[in-house]
Chains A and B, each alone.
Chain A
Amino acid sequence: MHRQTAITGIGETRYSKNSGKTVARLYLEASLDAIRDAGLSPKDIDGIIPYSNSPVVAEELATNFGIPDLKFSATTPLGGASPVAALQCAAAVVSAGICKHVLVPLGRNGSSGGRISTRVQEMPQFKLIGEFEMPLGAIAPAQLYAPMARRHMELYGTTSLQFAEVAVSTRDNAIAHGNAMMSKPITVEDHQASRMISDPLRLFDCSLESDGAAAFVLSGADAARDLRQPVVEVLGVAEGHPDSPSAITQRPDLTRLGLAKAAPRAFAMAGVKPDDIDVAEIYDCFTYTVIAQIEALGFCAPGEGGPFIEGGTIRRDGKLPVNTHGGLLSQAHMAGMNHIVELVRQLRGEGGNTQVDNAEVGLVTGYGDMGDGSVAIMARA
């Protein structure tokens, strides 16, 4: 699939605590933005991959758009790894000639419509956690991820101050970016003073709960050249599932992610190395997961993620600028669809206040369902 497809359109709504709109409406607004951004009409869309944990299905979008001949629909059930996994799915069906233009949208009232943090028990992929861990008091993602972070700290000396660097750097990006829920700067001291949620994870280590929507359109690379926008090609993409996919607790190595399996496949398909990446949008449900993924992606050796991010490495002017939009920690929790939108914007050179100089090759990850991983590597053609 190397260089056979491109992201031709991106769209997103404003992000807020209370959208005042239905989830379907949010989906449609971001989707229309993305379709028009590409210079297409909704009737050109012949494939739809909506978010798997969503009340809105492809049929509802096709009905609203009056799509006459939808040739493909699916979902990719990987939680926060779904959007990038959907990119892989879309690239596969376009490369196979099944579809010409696939819409991949995600919308949610994740703040006003019921907190995501405690909704885990409703999801079938978590039935083992629901039966064997929740009755004991291990209920929310923060509690299930905290032992991964603690184990990393004990084995490698990773510190809460290193988590703070992720939180502070990401907030700084959100403020500069503009379309972000959080607008107040934070310091390392603010991070250290934020209340403990589940040790070692403090409030400022945890992502937001948000209302809004984001979407992209993926098309064949040839078709992309005839459309409106600078061509952003998909060089490589992959998904990976951790050992013991159902429960973190049963994983032989708590610090090893599904992304560690996906990353070598994506880099091999892309024909680039970690050193070639100019900008990275890394799924940040928690600060720790950014550090863990930097290791899994091969930017440094396992255990060295903490020291790696010190000294400004992930700042906008650093060696590896990360989450130039403010991520899930400070922009909005759109399950990583906002990370894909931001990477495309960066590679087009439309990053505004947070544009990374000479951003030609970039990477975006997804992370979800307690350890599933996905990664796409893209480049301006």
Chain B
Amino acid sequence: MDEATPTLADLKPMPNPTPDTAPYWDALREHKLVLQRCSDCGVFRHYPRPLCEHCLSFDHTWEPASGRGSVHSWTETHHAFNPGFKGELPYVLVTVDLEENVRLQLQLRDAGLDDLRIGLPVRIDFEAVNDQLTVPVARLA
């Protein structure tokens, strides 16, 4: 057989990047977290978008993020709203404040609900879902 046997994980929703967002996903495949930064006023923004809301500049660069952040809030999911995640239940999603003053929604690794509190330091790591998609995950710092 040339093709791998499909698994449930193949049913996961996949991003459909646009020219405005593709550099984010391209960098993740190389295990790098990059963020849009306004070339004129220097403010980081996320999720990626064309315009800086602070100075209305379209000019931006993609800069490596520190990968350091802290927990803002969280949830533990017990129901698979997409069958691709059935094998991972329950899983913890954390809302993380990055040092760059943007937020990421991430799955938490190596820790559970009992470990969580607002402000808990975390670091960003990377996990390949398949050849096209690598996602950031959070680990305790």
Residues of A within 8 A of B (CB): 117-118, 121, 128, 130-140, 142-143, 146-148, 150-151, 154-155, 195-201, 246-247, 249-250, 254
Contact = CB atoms under 8 A, between A and B. Distances in A.
Contacts of B118: 151, 154-155
Contact of A150 (B73, B104, B133): B73
Interface string B39-57: 0000000110000000000
Nearest to A118: B81
Contacts of B72: 147, 151, 254
A200 B75 CA distance: 7
Contacts of B46: 250
B16 to A, nearest CB: 7
Contacts of A146: 75, 77
B73 A151 contact: yes
B93 A135 contact: no
Contacts, number: 105
Given A135-B12, A155-B118, 15 more contacts: A135-B133, A138-B93, A140-B79, A143-B75, A146-B75, A146-B77, A148-B73, A150-B74, A151-B72, A151-B73, A154-B117, A197-B78, A198-B76, A250-B46, A250-B102
Is chain A's interface secondary structure helix, strand, loop, or mixed overall? helix
Top 8 nearest A-B pairs by Cβ distance? A146-B75, A147-B73, A140-B81, A151-B73, A199-B76, A139-B81, A134-B13, A196-B78
A350 B106 CA distance: 49
Contact of A130 (B13, B77, B88): B13
Contacts of A147: 72-75, 93, 95
B112 to A, nearest CB: 11
A148 B95 CA distance: 10
A46 B106 CA distance: 49
Nearest to A202: B78
The winner among B74, B95, B103 for most chain A CB atoms within 10 A is: B95
A38 B2 CA distance: 67
B15 A154 contact: no
A198 to B, nearest CB: 5
A119 to B, nearest CB: 10
Given A131-B17, A154-B117, A249 B78 contact: no
B15 A131 contact: yes
Nearest to B133: A135
Given A118-B82, A198-B79, A250-B47, A135 B73 contact: no
Contacts of B15: 130-132, 135
A136 B106 contact: yes
Interface string B57-96: 0000000000000001111111101100100101101010
Contacts of A151: 72-73, 118
B139 to A, nearest CB: 15
Nearest to B113: A199
19 contacts: A117-B81, A118-B81, A128-B47, A131-B16, A135-B133, A136-B107, A137-B82, A143-B75, A143-B93, A147-B75, A150-B74, A151-B118, A154-B73, A198-B77, A199-B113, A201-B75, A250-B47, A250-B102, A250-B103
A154 B71 CA distance: 12
Interface in B11-29: 12-17, 21
B129 interface: yes
A195 to B, nearest CB: 7
Contacts of A155: 118
Interface in B108-122: 113, 117-118
Contacts of A249: 95, 103-105
A47 to B, nearest CB: 35
A343 B91 CA distance: 40
B17, B75, B95 — most chain A CB neighbours (10 Å): B75
B133 to A, nearest CB: 6
Contacts of A154: 73, 117-118
Nearest to A128: B47
Contact of A135 (B13, B74, B103, B117): B13
Contacts of B107: 136-137
Contacts of A131: 15-17, 21, 47
B94 to A, nearest CB: 8
